[in-house]
Each structure stands twice: as C-alpha cells, then as structure tokens.
Amino acid sequence: MIESAAFPPPVQATLLVGVILVQAIALYVGYGALERVATPLIETITNA
C-alpha cells in the first residue's frame, strides 16, 4: 500500500476517492464479464 500519511488531508481524501473509483470500475467490468459467461451457462442448465 502506498503510504499517504505524509500528504495533507485534501490529497489523502483525493487518493482515497481515486482508489475507491478504481475498485468500483474493476468490479463493474469483472461482474460484466462474469455475467456474459454465466448467463449462457445458466440458460443451458435450466433448459436441459
């Protein structure tokens, strides 16, 4: 983890918001990819 205690509070807050934004984007992309893979699989199982 990057040490941010030496930075002033506004910079720390900006870094925190940036990290949370990157995590949200990664989750959004990851769940989108998972949905593309899982949806046909689930439909195949339920229609069998």
Output the 3-class SS for 10-23: HHHHHHHHHHHHHH
Confidence of residue 1 (pLDDT cuts 50, 70, 90): low
Domain ranges of the chain: 14-48
What are the helix (H) ranges across the chain? 9-47
Confidence of residue 2 (pLDDT cuts 50, 70, 90): low
The two tokens of residue 39 are 């949806």
pLDDT digits (tens, 9 = 90+) for 3-47: 778 889 999 999 999 999 999 999 999 999 999 988 888 888 888
